[in-house]
Amino acid sequence: MRILCLLTLCLWAGAVAAQTTDASLPKRHMVAAAHPLAAQAGREMLRRGGSAMDAAVATQMVLALVEPQSSGIGGGAVMLYFDKASGAVHAFDGRETAPAAITPDVFLDAEGKPKYFFDAVTDGRSVGVPGVVRMLARAHEKHGRLPWRDLFAPAIRLAEDGFAVTARFHESVRRDKYLARDPTARAYFYAPDGSAWPVGHKLKNPALADTLRRLAEDGADALHTGPIAADIVAAAKARGGILSLADLAGYQAQERGVLCRPYRAWRVCTMPPPTSGGIATLQILGILDSFDLAALAPGSAEAVHLISEASRLAYADRARYVADTDFIDVPISGLLDRGYLRERARRIALDWSMGRAEAGTPGTRKGEALGDGVSADLPSTSHFSVVDGDGNAVAMTTTVENRFGSRIMVRGFLLNNQLTDFSFLPEIDGRPIANRAAPGKRPRSSMSPTLVFDGDGRLYLTVGSPGGSRIITYVVQTLIAVLDWGLDMQAAIVLPRHVNRNGVTELEDGTALADIAEALRAKGQTVELRKIVSGLHGIRVTPAGLDGGADPRREGVALGD
């Protein structure tokens, strides 16, 4: 890992040195995604005259095959779509929903204590109603150009012909302790001797090819009704699940009001709840608007301290207030009010950490009796960004929650464990938790797909990342790197990562950030060096062309013409 991180640092140094308006940048369109085959599938649709939405569908279907540890048709997603013709940004919510039979204490043991996380993950009760296919179908109906069935062709072809197992795929399977417990998953992911298929092995998934063919012909209903739905329910129930056919049939993807706020000279747009990522991202940026970050060096102790302190404040509010707005009155306007954020910024001292931050009282929400929820929100997600030839754009973050989700495999794909994103404790000291489980409720997420526009309303940036609750800080740091420090997309993505979720300040091990650890400790920060694996994928729109970036910590690429 240290070699990889040092390589990351070298890539960063090279990328920073290469800041240019390169005349060779792609001019027409681009896809940046976590696997080359997925990016190729999206680009294939763009080359055929498809929209950014068409490319998004094709990209996701290939990711379901080649990166099943991160996302797939058994999971959920959130997406921003920029329609260049109208200038509108649309926010699509394909987050999973809880079954009708769920109760707030679903993840408590017989003594009323939270279950061990992986006991909950691999229990069928962790499976939420998948949402990604219905979300894509709804968005494609409005913004697609190519026929729906055509968008599945690359994934079907790869599933039938096979794809080469990559190092990340192999390591994810090899290291997992729970995947082989499912007989269907064991037969697919492992060789007959029980070892993970080696790097380069040609892996075929005829079951997924059949499922995708049904989706291509019959639309999203093929997943939510009929034989596939029946198999999903049966597989979850065999592991103790409570999912029903009615839950699947009744699922609806939502289009929600996008959140946009100014940051310096820019307008930053992101997702509303049930994800907390959008609010927290905008809060951190709004707090930092009071400080001159452009005067600080990337990776300096001063910059890391400021970003960490702003993050503490946003994560404190996130834990207290943010959940599914169909169930909870989230004070969005108050949390993003410029006066409130300036007041929060005044809590930051340049020379000393505030330690653990307390939630504020935004707007009229004075003294509401809510407890601070805690959920694991562990990283195993994917993000991709698309810009098409007409200037339309997608920022989509997609997930099955934990690595390989619930580890329950059905018809060639894995079911999510998204319901473990609810707070395991429904209340603390008699105060209810906003993010407690309830029938039909969407669990809180940290996904933060983001679009940035310049002062004239022109698209400038599409970006996002996987990483569980760390997603927020990954995205914020990348936005700061581009908007404040003027880095190009790749240089911003490769920057060494640091994270503070209202606790320890985590620094990416093996990078130059290790050199500032003592300076941060001198400011009262508790510091930990650790492996940090973001998966940022973004595209910057410049006069010279499309400037794409893919995180070297994973296997992604940015492909364009």
pLDDT in tens, 162-199: 999 999 999 999 999 999 999 999 999 999 999 999 99
Check: CB of residue 508 under 8 Å from CB of residue 516: no
User: What was the pLDDT predicted at 513?
Assistant: 98
What's the residue count for the chain?
A: 561
Given a cut of 70, whether residue 368 has pLDDT beyond it is no
Q: For residue 18, what pLDDT band results from cuts at 50, 70 and 90?
A: very low
Which of 324, 296, 286 minimizes the C-alpha distance to 95? 324
CA 266 vs. chain centroid, Å, equals 22
pLDDT in tens, 89-139: 999 999 999 999 999 999 999 999 999 999 999 999 999 999 999 999 999
pLDDT in tens, 379-406: 579 999 999 999 999 999 999 999 999 9
User: What was the pLDDT predicted at 68?
Assistant: 97
Q: For residue 370, what pLDDT band results from cuts at 50, 70 and 90?
A: low
Average pLDDT (336-362) is 97
User: What was the pLDDT predicted at 3?
Assistant: 32
Instruction: Give the three-class secondary structure for 60.
Output: helix
Q: In this structure, what token pair is assigned to residue 143? A: 């913004």
Interatomic CA distance for residues 479 and 293, integer angstroms: 12
First to last CA, the chain: 34
Q: Residues 339, 341, 344, 350: is their CA dihedral positive or negative?
A: negative
> Hunting for tokens 């996987």 — which residue is that?
466
User: What was the pLDDT predicted at 24?
Assistant: 85
Using a CB cutoff of 8 Å and minimum separation of 24, what contacts does 18-21 make?
18/488, 18/491, 19/486, 19/487, 19/488, 19/491, 20/488, 21/542, 21/543, 21/544
325 is an active site residue: no
Which of 226, 249, 324 minimizes the C-alpha distance to 99? 249
Given a cut of 50, whether residue 326 has pLDDT beyond it is yes
Check: CB of residue 554 under 8 Å from CB of residue 535: yes
Q: For residue 374, what pLDDT band results from cuts at 50, 70 and 90?
A: low
Q: For residue 372, what pLDDT band results from cuts at 50, 70 and 90?
A: low
Given a cut of 80, whether residue 235 has pLDDT beyond it is yes
User: What was the pLDDT predicted at 349?
Assistant: 98
Give all domains of the chain, ordered by start, each with its CATH number.
Answer: 2-162+204-255+375-560 (3.60.20.40)
Interatomic CA distance for residues 89 and 42, integer angstroms: 21
Given a cut of 60, whether residue 5 has pLDDT beyond it is no
The single residue of 59, 166, 381, 511 carrying the catalytic annotation is: 381
Q: In this structure, what token pair is assigned to residue 212? A: 């995708």
306: Cβ contacts below 8 Å, ≥ 6 apart: 288, 291, 293, 296, 348, 350
Interatomic CA distance for residues 275 and 475, integer angstroms: 14
Q: In this structure, what token pair is assigned to residue 444? A: 């809180």
Given a cut of 60, whether residue 6 has pLDDT beyond it is no
What helix, strand, coil percent values describe the chain, rounded to 5? 40, 20, 45
pLDDT in tens, 57-83: 999 999 999 999 999 999 999 999 999
Which of 493, 271, 278, 485 minimizes the C-alpha distance to 394? 271
* SS3 assignment for 396-433: EEEECCCCCCCCCEECCEECCCHHHHCCCCCEECCEEE
Question: What are the Cα distances from residue 510, in Å, to 4, 350, 416, 471, 507?
Answer: 8, 26, 33, 20, 9
Q: In this structure, what token pair is assigned to residue 241? A: 């699940």
Interatomic CA distance for residues 278 and 252, integer angstroms: 21
User: What was the pLDDT predicted at 429?
Assistant: 86
Question: What are the Cα distances from residue 72, in Å, to 60, 148, 161, 170?
Answer: 7, 17, 19, 18
Whether omega for the bond prior to residue 274 falls within 30 degrees of 0, making it cis, is yes
Q: For residue 13, what pLDDT band results from cuts at 50, 70 and 90?
A: very low
pLDDT in tens, 21-30: 566 899 999 9
Which of 301, 268, 296 minimizes the C-alpha distance to 284? 268
Check: CB of residue 523 under 8 Å from CB of residue 533: no
pLDDT in tens, 422-478: 999 999 888 999 999 999 999 999 999 999 999 999 999 999 999 999 999 999 999
pLDDT in tens, 31-50: 999 999 999 999 999 999 99
Check: CB of residue 414 under 8 Å from CB of residue 185: yes
Choice between 19 and 238, residue whose per-residue pLDDT is larger: 238
Given a cut of 60, whether residue 218 has pLDDT beyond it is yes
> Hunting for tokens 């009010």 — which residue is that?
337
Q: In this structure, what token pair is assigned to residue 76? A: 């959920």
